[in-house]
A and B are shown apart, each in its own frame.
Chain A
Amino acid sequence: MTKTVTLTIDDQQVTVPEGTLIVNAAKMVGIDIPVFCYHPKMEPVGMCRQCLVEVGRPAIDRATGQPVLEDGKPKIQFGPKLETACTTPVSEGMVVLTHSEKARAAQKEILEFLLTSHPLDCPVCDKGGECPLQNLTLAYGPAESRFLYSEKHHAEKHVPLGDKIWLDRERCIQCGRCIRFQEIIAGDPVLSFYQRGRDTDIITHSDPPFDSIFSGNTTDICPVGALTTADFRFGARPWEMKAAASICSLCPVGCNLTFNTRREAKAGGKVVIKRAMPRQNEQVNEIWICDRGRFNWHYVEDPSRLTHPLVKKDGKLEKASWSAAIEAAGNQVKGNQVLVVASGRLSNEDLFNLKQLADGLGGEALLYDSLPGGELTTRYGVSAGTNLGDLGAGSAILVAAADLYHEAPIWYLRVKAAAERGANLVIVNPEATRLDKYAKKLVRCGKDEAAAKVRELAAELTAAENLVVFFGRTADRNLAEDCAALLQGREGRANNGLIGVWPRANDQGAWELGYKPVDPSTGSGQALAQAVKGKVVYLAAADPAGDDPQLAEALKGAKAVIVQELFPTKTASLADVVFPAQAFTERDGSYTSGERRVQRFYPATPPLGESRADFAIAAAVAAAAGLEVEGRSALLVMDKLAAAVPAFVGISYRKLAEVTEQWPIVGRGDLYYGGTTYENRQGLGVQLNVSTFKRSNVVRGRAL
């Protein structure tokens, strides 16, 4: 057990682990000490001096080494100067005064100093309303300045640091949080200070400028309006926006997001998404998201989206009513074996209902994806209790045939941190990746040799107490099997398991639900082209015709083609019936992340046109074909799913919405501390257990 220390902060007694900083100890009992440069995710630097407090320690008698007593109590000796709460660790018997006259005076003066170089443009500043400097000035600062207004510091106000981030040099208070984030957390040290004193500027010299996929996070932790995103700046005021919890749909990490929305005239009075913000989940994305997740959601508002069902008449797709379209689709599928081809862009509920449709009609459900090894992850995948944040010394991590920085950026961040805590990171990849510099061992080899190299490493890797193995983009079946073999005997153990770096957010969900790969050996289009011949093909969120002309040709040989889609894709143009689907921002549902964590997302905006949720469309078509499939709400579908699929036992929407206290405390109006990331009040999700039901030995043909 860690040693604890008891101290008193503003008359409150606190017991915290040894080594805790005063600022954090205070936070734990709800006492706010203002900070700018300190951030709970980074080591303190004590640069801004905003957190000055009075610190007293028990006086020790030098002769005896015992505390000096005064009226039977230890005498507390206060230092002649104030101390920075962010750099001072607690000690036994310490007394901290955060609101004494002396402390308040110092805090006020620091703010007065900061404001001598800060413009008074809050009314036009994007940060206004969620600005730590603004908030702390109101709470602790002076109402007036003793400095001359005419001597105010002026600097450039619109400096693009890269494509995505703008810098306002005048607003910068030189706290260095952005620089430290890039260097320490992101591992992309592309920002730094230039010049000194009042002339200090933030600069970047990388090529391209501000070359980091995590750049958007600097705007969250910037305590002023110096860093803003090109995407959102001048877009809306923080207090006009509503918040909707969501899950990022762009990669298998499953970062928790919050979409900020508002009704606006520019969009004809419609509710629109203004920005995506991180939402805390310390076991998934902590308080960070990558720039893809932050900026690449705009496709949901693309004007080309499908808004009405379409039915083919005389060789042409024409607008139809829902009832006509459902009837048409029902007639096509009824009495036929249906081949469902769906992608991991869909939610668990959608995939479950589509599989019900296929199973009910004696057909098959395929996952449109090229990375093999899905069923291996359902058996050897990580399970309940796994947190990459727990890995460190004594753990081993293998990253095979994957570039986490580009394929799943937040996993890069988490694996990098684990390696820095002492985990043995081994990378087997054909090309150099940004993760390489943190690896203990690098194996550069072609696709054909990778599996053999992994086998060579087996003894070293399996010696570790905990072992997590990632395999990705360029992995073949052999490599996936050899990765899984490393985890033999570790099934169901927390912090151990196989993680597929899937191309889509919910590929893992599809594997868990029993979807079959398009082609077990290569995943190539050839197999799919064969499979669709003469069948009724039901495609959802998949565009094989657009991806491969050979498949477009093959689909023409299908008996009938039914499509559920967001967009009028090439595949949709070949269909007999096309249903407009809702985007994940317009409905609720759940995804299963690559770490096998099931997480809920919630609607942020009303659905577009007549679009419906994929699970509801699948249920309606199933009903038209005489099957009984739940389609009334995502919650009810999840209940059915949990009852039918062993890995999901015990999962319900209520369970997924459970939250436990997380550290650091963020987003509760104390923006100065953690930044503008959102507190998680909508659920941390549930990690799946390894299925307990018996299966044949999944890893075949190997002496295990």
Chain B
Amino acid sequence: MSLAEEYPEQIQKIFAKYPPDRKQSAVMPLLHLAQLGKGFVDRHDLVEIADLCGITETDVAEIVGFYTLYHDKPEGKLRIQVCTDIACALRGADEFLAQLCERLGIRPGETTPDGLVMVEAVMCLAACDKAPMFQVQGPDGISYHENMTVEKTLEFIETARKEVK
């Protein structure tokens, strides 16, 4: 299904925010929209967004490539992004990441076999004082989870599993 068929109202709302001769400004919100359901932007989305915004497919792809919150291939439905920068590392983020991955049976950057969870290390998320922390990118958008333990994280995943499936 095309984006125009799936989200007609949202698309209209997005374009209403920009002047009619600056359609290309809508490219980023449209990419978020495309990612909502499946967690990544596919080739059809690129073509459609390029058409909607009046730019080339290559221009849209460039934006997907540049920003870390856009993804070009299917990975976990929940993308757990653990900050491991220096301040978080001092509060045990590295260890948290290692243990979490061990419990899930994957390595950082991998997705669980059921396709539900993907865990990756990322750069600063601006919550240094509340590490270990991570950001989840999922069907509902983006949420922050601070002062986490491995147990609390696994609980969160279990709850999410029921909701997502």
The distance from the CB of B58 to the nearest CB of chain A, in whole angstroms, is 4
**Residues on B with beta carbons closer than 8 Å to the beta carbon of A193:** 62, 65-66
B56 an interface residue at 8 Å Cβ cutoff? yes
Q: Is the interface of B mostly helix, strand, loop or mixed?
A: helix
The distance from the CB of A415 to the nearest CB of chain B, in whole angstroms, is 21
**Residues on A with beta carbons closer than 8 Å to the beta carbon of B56:** 189-190, 205-206
CA A203 to CA B59, docked complex, whole Å: 10
Contact with A along B47-70 (1 / 0, CB 8 A): 000000000111111101110000
Contact with B along A188-226 (1 / 0, CB 8 A): 011111111000010111110000000000000000000
**Contact: A204 with B58, CB < 8 Å?**
yes
CA A194 to CA B60, docked complex, whole Å: 10
Closest to B43 in A: A205
**Residues on B with beta carbons closer than 8 Å to the beta carbon of A204:** 58
**Residues on A with beta carbons closer than 8 Å to the beta carbon of B61:** 192, 194, 203, 205
Closest to A204 in B: B58
Closest to A210 in B: B58
Q: How many interface residues does A have (CB within 8 Å)? A: 14
**Contact: B57 with A195, CB < 8 Å?**
no
Contact with A along B91-124 (1 / 0, CB 8 A): 0000000000000000000000000000000000
Q: How many interface residues does B have (CB within 8 Å)? A: 11
B82 an interface residue at 8 Å Cβ cutoff? no
The distance from the CB of B102 to the nearest CB of chain A, in whole angstroms, is 27
CA A201 to CA B62, docked complex, whole Å: 10
**Contact: A206 with B65, CB < 8 Å?**
no
**Residues on B with beta carbons closer than 8 Å to the beta carbon of A194:** 61-62, 64-66
B30 an interface residue at 8 Å Cβ cutoff? no
B78 an interface residue at 8 Å Cβ cutoff? no
B22-79: which residues lie under 8 A (CB-CB) from chain A? Answer: 46, 56-62, 64-66
B103-147: which residues lie under 8 A (CB-CB) from chain A? Answer: none
Residue among B58, B59, B60, B65 with the most chain A CB within 10 A? Answer: B58
CA A205 to CA B43, docked complex, whole Å: 9
CA A190 to CA B62, docked complex, whole Å: 11
**Contact: B65 with A205, CB < 8 Å?**
no
A52-73: which residues lie under 8 A (CB-CB) from chain B? Answer: none
A118-151: which residues lie under 8 A (CB-CB) from chain B? Answer: none
Contact with B along A570-605 (1 / 0, CB 8 A): 000000000000000000000000000000000000
**Residues on A with beta carbons closer than 8 Å to the beta carbon of B66:** 193-196
**Residues on B with beta carbons closer than 8 Å to the beta carbon of A190:** 56, 58
CA A205 to CA B64, docked complex, whole Å: 12
**Residues on B with beta carbons closer than 8 Å to the beta carbon of A196:** 65-66
15 pairs of residues in contact across A and B, judged by CB atoms under 8 Å: A189-B56, A190-B58, A192-B59, A193-B62, A193-B66, A194-B61, A194-B62, A194-B64, A195-B65, A195-B66, A203-B58, A203-B61, A205-B58, A206-B56, A206-B58
Closest 9 CB pairs of A and B: A194-B65, A192-B62, A205-B57, A205-B58, A195-B65, A205-B61, A192-B58, A189-B56, A190-B58
4 new A-B contacts at CB < 8 Å, known A189-B56, A193-B66, A195-B66:
A189-B58, A192-B59, A201-B65, A203-B58
